[in-house]
Amino acid sequence: MLNRPYNTSFFTFIVCFLFILCIGCGEKKNSNYDAISESQVTLTTDKNSPKRIKVIFDTDANNELDDQHALAYLLFNEHAFETIGVTVNATINGGELKNHYDEAQRILKLCNKEDIPLINGADKSYSEIENTIDKSDYDGREAVDFILNETKKDSVTIIAVGKLTNIALALKKDSTFANRTKIVWLGSNYPHPGEYNQENDTVAMNYVLNSSIPFEMVTVRYGEPSGTDAVGVSVHEINSRMPGKGPIAKEAVIGRHDGVFNTFGDYSVSLFKNIEAHDNESYTRALFDMVAVAVLKNQSWGKTRTIATPILIDGKWVERPNNSRKIVLWEDFNKEALLADFFETMQKATPKTK
Protein backbone atom coordinates (compact mmCIF):
# COMPACT_ATOMS: atom_id res chain seq x y z
CA MET A 1 0.00 0.00 0.00
CA LEU A 2 1.31 3.36 -0.98
CA ASN A 3 1.52 6.02 1.74
CA ARG A 4 -0.57 9.09 1.06
CA PRO A 5 1.58 12.21 1.00
CA TYR A 6 0.89 14.84 3.80
CA ASN A 7 -1.07 17.95 3.03
CA THR A 8 1.41 20.26 4.74
CA SER A 9 -0.81 23.32 5.02
CA PHE A 10 -3.67 21.30 6.54
CA PHE A 11 -1.27 19.58 8.92
CA THR A 12 0.19 22.92 9.98
CA PHE A 13 -3.29 24.25 10.65
CA ILE A 14 -4.18 21.25 12.83
CA VAL A 15 -0.96 21.49 14.84
CA CYS A 16 -1.41 25.20 15.46
CA PHE A 17 -5.04 24.73 16.45
CA LEU A 18 -4.19 21.99 18.93
CA PHE A 19 -1.33 24.05 20.34
CA ILE A 20 -3.56 27.07 20.91
CA LEU A 21 -6.26 24.86 22.42
CA CYS A 22 -3.77 23.34 24.88
CA ILE A 23 -2.49 26.76 25.89
CA GLY A 24 -6.04 27.95 26.45
CA CYS A 25 -6.86 24.93 28.59
CA GLY A 26 -3.65 25.35 30.53
CA GLU A 27 -4.33 29.01 31.15
CA LYS A 28 -7.83 28.25 32.35
CA LYS A 29 -6.58 25.59 34.71
CA ASN A 30 -3.86 27.85 36.06
CA SER A 31 -6.35 30.67 36.47
CA ASN A 32 -8.53 28.52 38.71
CA TYR A 33 -5.51 27.37 40.66
CA ASP A 34 -4.34 30.95 41.15
CA ALA A 35 -7.80 31.93 42.37
CA ILE A 36 -7.78 29.13 44.92
CA SER A 37 -4.23 29.94 45.95
CA GLU A 38 -5.03 33.63 46.38
CA SER A 39 -8.04 32.74 48.49
CA GLN A 40 -5.90 30.51 50.65
CA VAL A 41 -3.23 33.18 50.99
CA THR A 42 -5.86 35.71 52.00
CA LEU A 43 -7.10 33.37 54.71
CA THR A 44 -3.66 32.65 56.06
CA THR A 45 -2.10 36.10 55.79
CA ASP A 46 -5.13 38.26 56.53
CA LYS A 47 -3.47 39.08 59.86
CA ASN A 48 -1.53 41.72 57.93
CA SER A 49 -4.48 42.96 55.91
CA PRO A 50 -5.26 46.70 56.16
CA LYS A 51 -8.95 45.77 56.23
CA ARG A 52 -8.75 44.42 59.75
CA ILE A 53 -10.72 46.39 62.34
CA LYS A 54 -8.44 48.09 64.84
CA VAL A 55 -9.95 47.90 68.30
CA ILE A 56 -9.39 48.83 71.91
CA PHE A 57 -11.13 46.41 74.26
CA ASP A 58 -12.45 48.17 77.38
CA THR A 59 -13.41 45.61 80.02
CA ASP A 60 -14.29 44.80 83.63
CA ALA A 61 -12.57 41.47 83.09
CA ASN A 62 -13.02 40.04 86.58
CA ASN A 63 -16.78 40.48 86.83
CA GLU A 64 -17.93 36.99 85.78
CA LEU A 65 -16.92 34.93 82.71
CA ASP A 66 -18.16 36.53 79.52
CA ASP A 67 -15.42 39.17 79.37
CA GLN A 68 -12.74 36.48 79.32
CA HIS A 69 -14.43 34.56 76.51
CA ALA A 70 -14.97 37.76 74.53
CA LEU A 71 -11.32 38.76 74.86
CA ALA A 72 -10.05 35.32 73.83
CA TYR A 73 -12.46 35.29 70.87
CA LEU A 74 -11.20 38.74 69.85
CA LEU A 75 -7.54 37.75 70.10
CA PHE A 76 -8.03 34.49 68.18
CA ASN A 77 -9.79 36.34 65.33
CA GLU A 78 -6.63 38.01 64.08
CA HIS A 79 -7.84 37.88 60.48
CA ALA A 80 -10.73 40.21 61.43
CA PHE A 81 -9.31 42.35 64.26
CA GLU A 82 -6.12 44.08 65.27
CA THR A 83 -6.22 44.59 69.03
CA ILE A 84 -4.38 47.82 69.81
CA GLY A 85 -4.77 47.50 73.56
CA VAL A 86 -6.91 46.39 76.48
CA THR A 87 -8.13 48.91 79.07
CA VAL A 88 -9.76 47.85 82.31
CA ASN A 89 -12.26 49.38 84.69
CA ALA A 90 -13.69 48.19 87.99
CA THR A 91 -17.31 47.21 88.54
CA ILE A 92 -18.97 46.13 91.77
CA ASN A 93 -18.90 42.35 91.48
CA GLY A 94 -15.33 42.08 90.27
CA GLY A 95 -13.62 43.69 93.23
CA GLU A 96 -10.89 46.29 93.10
CA LEU A 97 -9.28 47.46 89.86
CA LYS A 98 -6.24 45.22 90.36
CA ASN A 99 -8.48 42.14 90.15
CA HIS A 100 -9.74 43.19 86.73
CA TYR A 101 -6.22 43.93 85.53
CA ASP A 102 -4.97 40.57 86.78
CA GLU A 103 -7.80 38.66 85.09
CA ALA A 104 -7.27 40.42 81.76
CA GLN A 105 -3.56 39.65 82.07
CA ARG A 106 -4.33 35.95 82.59
CA ILE A 107 -6.26 35.87 79.30
CA LEU A 108 -3.49 37.68 77.41
CA LYS A 109 -0.98 35.17 78.77
CA LEU A 110 -3.15 32.15 77.94
CA CYS A 111 -3.58 33.48 74.39
CA ASN A 112 0.16 34.27 74.09
CA LYS A 113 -0.63 37.95 73.53
CA GLU A 114 1.32 39.59 76.34
CA ASP A 115 2.75 42.06 73.82
CA ILE A 116 -0.63 43.79 73.63
CA PRO A 117 -0.73 46.80 75.99
CA LEU A 118 -2.85 46.31 79.12
CA ILE A 119 -3.76 49.57 80.83
CA ASN A 120 -5.47 50.46 84.09
CA GLY A 121 -8.58 52.61 83.80
CA ALA A 122 -11.19 53.98 86.17
CA ASP A 123 -11.76 52.43 89.57
CA LYS A 124 -14.48 54.85 90.71
CA SER A 125 -17.48 56.33 88.89
CA TYR A 126 -17.52 59.27 86.50
CA SER A 127 -19.19 61.63 88.99
CA GLU A 128 -16.47 60.86 91.54
CA ILE A 129 -13.69 61.56 89.06
CA GLU A 130 -14.82 64.37 86.74
CA ASN A 131 -13.79 67.26 89.01
CA THR A 132 -10.26 65.87 89.36
CA ILE A 133 -9.61 65.38 85.67
CA ASP A 134 -7.17 68.31 85.47
CA LYS A 135 -4.87 66.66 88.01
CA SER A 136 -1.92 64.65 86.73
CA ASP A 137 -2.88 61.52 88.67
CA TYR A 138 -6.67 61.37 88.37
CA ASP A 139 -8.39 57.99 88.54
CA GLY A 140 -8.41 56.41 85.08
CA ARG A 141 -5.75 58.69 83.56
CA GLU A 142 -3.64 55.90 82.05
CA ALA A 143 -6.53 54.41 80.08
CA VAL A 144 -7.85 57.81 79.03
CA ASP A 145 -4.43 58.92 77.75
CA PHE A 146 -4.02 55.64 75.87
CA ILE A 147 -7.47 55.88 74.28
CA LEU A 148 -6.98 59.50 73.25
CA ASN A 149 -3.50 58.95 71.85
CA GLU A 150 -4.32 55.79 69.90
CA THR A 151 -7.43 57.27 68.29
CA LYS A 152 -5.35 60.19 67.06
CA LYS A 153 -3.04 57.81 65.18
CA ASP A 154 -5.58 55.82 63.22
CA SER A 155 -9.21 54.74 62.92
CA VAL A 156 -9.95 52.67 66.02
CA THR A 157 -13.22 51.16 67.26
CA ILE A 158 -13.67 50.84 71.00
CA ILE A 159 -15.51 47.74 72.16
CA ALA A 160 -16.68 48.52 75.68
CA VAL A 161 -18.05 45.61 77.69
CA GLY A 162 -18.21 47.14 81.17
CA LYS A 163 -19.22 50.51 82.55
CA LEU A 164 -18.62 53.51 80.28
CA THR A 165 -16.49 55.52 82.71
CA ASN A 166 -13.26 55.42 80.68
CA ILE A 167 -15.13 56.57 77.57
CA ALA A 168 -16.93 59.41 79.36
CA LEU A 169 -13.66 60.61 80.91
CA ALA A 170 -11.98 60.59 77.49
CA LEU A 171 -14.79 62.73 76.11
CA LYS A 172 -14.54 65.07 79.08
CA LYS A 173 -10.78 65.39 78.63
CA ASP A 174 -10.89 65.94 74.86
CA SER A 175 -14.20 66.68 73.12
CA THR A 176 -12.61 66.09 69.68
CA PHE A 177 -12.34 62.43 70.67
CA ALA A 178 -15.98 62.11 69.54
CA ASN A 179 -14.96 62.85 65.95
CA ARG A 180 -12.42 60.08 65.52
CA THR A 181 -13.83 56.81 66.84
CA LYS A 182 -16.90 54.65 67.35
CA ILE A 183 -18.12 52.98 70.53
CA VAL A 184 -19.71 49.53 70.48
CA TRP A 185 -21.09 48.97 73.98
CA LEU A 186 -22.45 45.79 75.51
CA GLY A 187 -25.04 47.03 77.95
CA SER A 188 -28.64 47.96 78.80
CA ASN A 189 -31.98 46.22 78.79
CA TYR A 190 -33.35 49.07 76.68
CA PRO A 191 -36.21 49.91 76.54
CA HIS A 192 -36.57 48.30 79.97
CA PRO A 193 -34.69 49.46 83.09
CA GLY A 194 -31.78 47.78 84.79
CA GLU A 195 -28.66 45.88 83.56
CA TYR A 196 -25.31 45.49 85.25
CA ASN A 197 -22.96 47.55 83.04
CA GLN A 198 -25.46 50.37 82.85
CA GLU A 199 -26.12 50.51 86.59
CA ASN A 200 -22.41 50.58 87.44
CA ASP A 201 -22.19 54.13 86.08
CA THR A 202 -25.43 55.63 84.76
CA VAL A 203 -23.95 59.13 84.79
CA ALA A 204 -21.14 58.06 82.47
CA MET A 205 -23.62 56.36 80.15
CA ASN A 206 -25.81 59.46 79.93
CA TYR A 207 -22.75 61.64 79.33
CA VAL A 208 -21.74 59.44 76.39
CA LEU A 209 -25.31 59.33 75.04
CA ASN A 210 -25.49 63.13 75.15
CA SER A 211 -22.24 63.50 73.24
CA SER A 212 -21.84 63.27 69.47
CA ILE A 213 -19.67 60.17 69.45
CA PRO A 214 -20.96 57.40 67.13
CA PHE A 215 -22.53 54.83 69.44
CA GLU A 216 -23.84 51.29 69.01
CA MET A 217 -25.69 49.61 71.88
CA VAL A 218 -25.60 45.81 71.94
CA THR A 219 -28.56 45.00 74.15
CA VAL A 220 -28.58 42.52 77.05
CA ARG A 221 -32.28 42.20 77.94
CA TYR A 222 -32.25 39.68 80.75
CA GLY A 223 -34.70 36.84 80.20
CA GLU A 224 -35.76 37.97 76.74
CA PRO A 225 -35.01 36.21 73.44
CA SER A 226 -34.09 39.46 71.66
CA GLY A 227 -30.96 40.32 73.68
CA THR A 228 -27.52 38.85 74.20
CA ASP A 229 -28.84 37.10 77.31
CA ALA A 230 -30.31 34.56 74.89
CA VAL A 231 -26.85 33.63 73.54
CA GLY A 232 -26.12 31.12 76.26
CA VAL A 233 -23.99 28.00 76.41
CA SER A 234 -24.34 25.11 78.84
CA VAL A 235 -21.76 23.77 81.24
CA HIS A 236 -22.07 20.45 79.45
CA GLU A 237 -21.12 21.99 76.11
CA ILE A 238 -18.17 23.84 77.64
CA ASN A 239 -16.99 20.66 79.36
CA SER A 240 -17.34 18.73 76.10
CA ARG A 241 -15.85 21.18 73.64
CA MET A 242 -13.42 23.52 75.41
CA PRO A 243 -10.78 21.36 77.18
CA GLY A 244 -7.38 21.92 75.60
CA LYS A 245 -8.62 24.58 73.17
CA GLY A 246 -6.38 27.45 72.22
CA PRO A 247 -2.59 27.64 71.92
CA ILE A 248 -0.31 26.24 74.59
CA ALA A 249 0.64 29.16 76.83
CA LYS A 250 4.33 30.00 76.99
CA GLU A 251 3.97 30.12 80.75
CA ALA A 252 1.39 28.38 82.95
CA VAL A 253 -1.21 30.66 84.54
CA ILE A 254 -2.73 30.42 88.01
CA GLY A 255 -6.49 30.97 87.72
CA ARG A 256 -8.59 33.27 89.83
CA HIS A 257 -10.15 30.21 91.48
CA ASP A 258 -6.70 28.61 91.88
CA GLY A 259 -5.59 25.79 89.60
CA VAL A 260 -2.85 25.96 86.99
CA PHE A 261 -3.73 26.34 83.30
CA ASN A 262 -1.86 26.07 80.02
CA THR A 263 -4.72 26.77 77.60
CA PHE A 264 -7.64 29.14 77.53
CA GLY A 265 -9.98 26.20 76.93
CA ASP A 266 -9.07 24.59 80.23
CA TYR A 267 -9.50 27.93 81.99
CA SER A 268 -12.92 28.30 80.36
CA VAL A 269 -13.99 25.03 81.98
CA SER A 270 -12.83 26.33 85.36
CA LEU A 271 -14.68 29.63 84.93
CA PHE A 272 -17.94 27.86 84.16
CA LYS A 273 -17.43 25.46 87.04
CA ASN A 274 -16.94 28.28 89.54
CA ILE A 275 -19.26 31.01 88.26
CA GLU A 276 -21.99 30.25 90.80
CA ALA A 277 -23.68 27.31 92.48
CA HIS A 278 -25.16 24.87 89.99
CA ASP A 279 -25.76 21.18 90.37
CA ASN A 280 -25.85 19.86 86.82
CA GLU A 281 -24.33 20.30 83.39
CA SER A 282 -27.53 21.70 81.92
CA TYR A 283 -26.83 25.03 83.64
CA THR A 284 -26.50 27.74 81.00
CA ARG A 285 -24.61 31.03 81.04
CA ALA A 286 -24.77 33.80 78.44
CA LEU A 287 -21.65 34.93 76.58
CA PHE A 288 -22.92 38.53 76.48
CA ASP A 289 -19.66 40.31 75.68
CA MET A 290 -18.57 37.86 73.01
CA VAL A 291 -21.60 38.92 70.96
CA ALA A 292 -20.45 42.55 70.92
CA VAL A 293 -17.22 41.42 69.28
CA ALA A 294 -18.84 38.92 66.92
CA VAL A 295 -21.35 41.32 65.34
CA LEU A 296 -18.46 43.51 64.26
CA LYS A 297 -16.94 40.50 62.54
CA ASN A 298 -20.22 39.56 60.84
CA GLN A 299 -23.09 42.01 60.97
CA SER A 300 -25.58 39.40 59.76
CA TRP A 301 -25.46 37.75 63.21
CA GLY A 302 -27.72 40.44 64.65
CA LYS A 303 -30.29 43.00 63.59
CA THR A 304 -29.86 46.74 63.87
CA ARG A 305 -32.14 49.72 63.94
CA THR A 306 -31.40 53.40 64.34
CA ILE A 307 -33.21 55.28 67.08
CA ALA A 308 -33.35 58.80 68.44
CA THR A 309 -31.04 58.75 71.45
CA PRO A 310 -32.96 58.24 74.71
CA ILE A 311 -31.74 59.11 78.20
CA LEU A 312 -31.99 57.37 81.56
CA ILE A 313 -33.76 59.36 84.28
CA ASP A 314 -34.43 57.94 87.74
CA GLY A 315 -33.64 54.45 86.48
CA LYS A 316 -36.09 54.58 83.57
CA TRP A 317 -35.55 55.16 79.89
CA VAL A 318 -37.07 58.38 78.57
CA GLU A 319 -37.59 58.58 74.83
CA ARG A 320 -36.57 61.73 72.94
CA PRO A 321 -38.17 61.23 69.51
CA ASN A 322 -37.18 64.71 68.33
CA ASN A 323 -33.55 64.24 69.25
CA SER A 324 -31.38 64.73 66.17
CA ARG A 325 -28.70 62.53 67.67
CA LYS A 326 -29.12 58.91 66.60
CA ILE A 327 -27.60 55.69 67.89
CA VAL A 328 -27.61 52.14 66.58
CA LEU A 329 -29.41 49.43 68.55
CA TRP A 330 -28.38 45.77 68.19
CA GLU A 331 -30.94 43.03 68.94
CA ASP A 332 -32.35 39.67 67.73
CA PHE A 333 -29.09 37.76 67.57
CA ASN A 334 -28.46 34.53 65.69
CA LYS A 335 -27.47 32.31 68.61
CA GLU A 336 -26.65 29.25 66.51
CA ALA A 337 -24.35 31.12 64.12
CA LEU A 338 -22.65 33.02 66.95
CA LEU A 339 -21.88 29.95 69.03
CA ALA A 340 -20.84 27.94 65.97
CA ASP A 341 -18.29 30.62 65.11
CA PHE A 342 -17.13 30.87 68.72
CA PHE A 343 -16.34 27.16 68.93
CA GLU A 344 -14.84 27.12 65.43
CA THR A 345 -12.57 30.02 66.42
CA MET A 346 -11.44 28.13 69.52
CA GLN A 347 -10.72 25.05 67.40
CA LYS A 348 -8.72 26.97 64.81
CA ALA A 349 -6.58 28.50 67.57
CA THR A 350 -5.69 25.01 68.81
CA PRO A 351 -2.46 23.42 67.52
CA LYS A 352 -3.05 20.30 65.46
CA THR A 353 -1.95 17.11 67.18
CA LYS A 354 0.36 14.79 65.25
159-196: pLDDT as tens digits: 999 999 999 999 999 999 999 999 999 999 999 999 99
Query: Mean pLDDT across the stretch 247-260?
Result: 96
215 contact partners, CB below 8 Å, separation of at least 6: 182, 183, 185, 208, 209, 309, 327, 328
Exposure class string for 342-351: b at 16+ Cβ within 10 A, else e: bbebbeebbe
What distance in Å separates the CA atoms of residue 95 and residue 81, rounded to the nearest whole number?
29
- The pLDDT confidence band at residue 353, using thresholds 50, 70 and 90, is confident
**Quick one: which H or E segment has residue 16?**
helix 8-45
Full-model pTM: 0.86
Domain 54-348 has CATH 3.30.360.10: no
Amino acid at 229: D
- The pLDDT confidence band at residue 281, using thresholds 50, 70 and 90, is confident
Find out whether 104 and 88 touch, Cβ atoms under 8 Å: yes
What distance in Å separates the CA atoms of residue 46 and residue 44, rounded to the nearest whole number?
6
Distances from the Cα of 326 to the Cα of 29, 315, 319, angstroms: 51, 21, 12
